[in-house]
Every structure is written in structure tokens, then in C-alpha cells.
Amino acid sequence: MKIIDVNLLNRSYSIQVEDGLLASISGLLKQSNIGQKWIIISQHRLMELFGFDLMDQLNQQGYYIDYITVPTGETAKSMIEFNRIISQMIELKCDRSTTILALGGGVVGDVAGFVASSFMRGIDYYQIPTTLLAMVDSSIGGKTGINISEGKNLVGAIYQPKGVFIDPRILDSLPREEVVSGLGEILKYGAIKDESFFSATSQHLENLDTFPFENAIARSCEIKAKIVSQDECEGGLRRLLNFGHTIGHALEAHFGYGQLRHGDAVSYGMISAGWISKELGLLKRNEYKTFKQSILRLPLPSLNKFDPVSLLPFIKNDKKTVSGILHFVTLTNIGSASTNDNVTDNLLISAMKEIQ
């Protein structure tokens, strides 16, 4: 088992990564089980695949356990669903001692974490991610939230889990497209912090059947855990984790949440950000060429035709825009990134044309 610590004083917790870990959850949580109500928040299909077995495991070990399901897709991250979950928890007689297990991908983790941060002013929760994207990104760092019509994750909180349990074997149940989406985020970690990891990951994309998922997940978690430990609330360093996300989120909002997978949108966003880095003289032309070619080893879906100008309002509403200034993440070379406040609308428009 690989154990990665997120060091945040009294909010510290561990990320545990191991094939087959799901079968050990009851033992791993034993010391935290003090007779309280436990609630699994998940989706119906995931309950059938993993959740009901997990409930049986916990029941057999004396846990007082129930579950709540949310719809699939980004529709689960709505104020309507948030209100419904809170109402169900009250009906199930949950209280301030209740503990949530977020069993699912980023959507489930985001909404379950936000519920945990809000219910009775905050209760404990654990992340059990079931997608590659959630394993390496959204389950770590405490970002929770829901979407509104004006943009993605504009309502939420930074609220740390008590622990993260990652079982890479779960990936065997995922459609190939979902795995590809998560690989974009793994490339991101190499792009901003570890050139050799980026290069090795890119090479492994040639044959996904032999991709070293457990090691790649652990390395991605190490990078994110170190950044979050130094900058929990995104005051500076943590902004680097948004590489590719500014344009990626705009693409998601434009095409419709769920129509373009988050990881795919981020991959296209990284290409655009790499192009901007080149245009600003931060990234050499040959580095950008290598960078773009590496990302395009992913079998990304084709983007429907769009007008880049129409995406600018989404970018302006992005959380990375503060006091009218967009803190855009650029590369200084592959393996090193920084924020840049000099990215103009014209550069953004031209960068989006690069991915059409």
C-alpha cells in the first residue's frame, strides 16, 4: 500500500492507494466507528457495482449504515439535488455525528463534500473515488461545490475529507473513455511539476493495456498533496493545479456539462495554455510541439465547431478571475508552471482557435 499524507495541521489526512483496497474499508475505518450513522452518497449504478457490497461489509462489522443516490452527470451538482440530499439525511435521522462516504467520481465527491461541509455546520466525510479523474484530482484537497447556470463550481467550500481510499482495480469497470479523461489530469501533474513523469506517462499512452495505473495515481497524488499542504486555500501555489482548466471549464460550460468530459476539456485547455505560453515567449517552439504531440496521444473526442469569442464570458466568470484580473496558468517549460496576469482576450481567442 502507498500512503501519501496531506499535511494541514489538525485537518491532516492520508491518501491510501492499493489494488483491492475497497475490500478493506471496514477495517480501515474501524477506529472512526463510534456508533454513529454512516451514509454512503453514490449513484445507483455504482451502488450495484460496489456500494451494496460495501454496505454488507460495513453491516457485518457493526456499522450503522444507509445510502442516498444522486443522478448521473453534472445534473447531480445542482442546488435542487443538494436540497434533496439534505432533506433525505434529516429523514434518515442523521445528526452532527453522522459520517459520509462519498463513493463515486468527481460529481459525487463534489456534492457529497459540499453536503458534509454544510449539514449541521459540518460533519466528517471520506472520499472513495471510482474514476481515474477523481482518484488523482477531485477527491484530494477539499474542494467541494455545485454548479449554477453562470458557471461550474461557483457555489462551494474548501472542506477537507478525513481520508481518501483509492482502489485502482475499480478502473477495470470503467468505460475506456472515462479512463482517457482521467489520463489528461495525470499529464497535467507532469506538465506543471515533473518533466520526467510527464514524458514517461506520455510514452505509456502508446499501450493503455500496460499502463502503470497504481504508480501513476500515487505519483499524481504525491504532487497534489504537496501543493495542497503548502497552499490549502489557493492563495498562490495551488493555482498551478488549474493548468488547462480556465479554457477547459469554458469548453464544458459552452458545450454543456456532461456533453464534454472534464478531463477531455482540460486536455484541450492544456494545449491552448501551452500555445499561449509559447506566444508569450515562456515555452520554446519545439517544447510546445512536443507538449502538444504528447497530449494528442490521447484519443480525445473531436470538438464541435464553436466561436471562441462566445467562450470569453465563461472565462470572465471563472473563479481564477479576481478583481477583473485573470490569473492564467502558463508553462515556463515542461515540468514547471507559473501564473500569468497578462493573458489578453486576443490571446485567449487565438489559443482556442488552435484546438478547433
Nearest to 311 by CA among 263, 261, 248, 257: 248
Asked if 93 is an active-site residue, the reply is: no
Asked if 249 is an active-site residue, the reply is: yes
Rounded Cα distance, 267 and 188, in Å: 8
Asked if 254 is an active-site residue, the reply is: no
Identified catalytic residue from 121, 176, 285, 305: 121
And the C-alpha cell for 296?
A: 494528442
Identified catalytic residue from 37, 238, 239, 327: 238
3-state secondary structure of 344: coil
Asked if 242 is an active-site residue, the reply is: yes
Number of Cβ within a 10 Å radius of residue 294: 21
Identified catalytic residue from 77, 152, 219, 249: 249
The answer to whether 42 and 22 have CB atoms below 8 angstroms apart is: no
**Tell me, what DSSP letter sits at residue 257?**
B
Asked if 245 is an active-site residue, the reply is: yes
Q: Which residues contact 128 (CB under 8 A, 6 or more apart)?
A: 22, 25, 54, 101, 102, 103, 104, 164, 165, 167
Identified catalytic residue from 188, 193, 245, 319: 245
Identified catalytic residue from 242, 252, 319, 340: 242
Indicate if the alpha-carbon torsion angle 292, 298, 304, 309 is positive or negative.
negative
CA dihedral 301, 306, 308, 313 (to 10 degrees): -100
Asked if 185 is an active-site residue, the reply is: yes
The answer to whether 246 and 347 have CB atoms below 8 angstroms apart is: no
Asked if 219 is an active-site residue, the reply is: no
Identified catalytic residue from 74, 185, 252, 287: 185
Identified catalytic residue from 152, 224, 239, 319: 224
Identified catalytic residue from 262, 278, 319, 327: 262
Identified catalytic residue from 74, 222, 232, 234: 234
Asked if 262 is an active-site residue, the reply is: yes
Asked if 234 is an active-site residue, the reply is: yes
Asked if 238 is an active-site residue, the reply is: yes
* Residues labelled catalytic: 121, 143, 185, 224, 234, 238, 242, 245, 249, 262
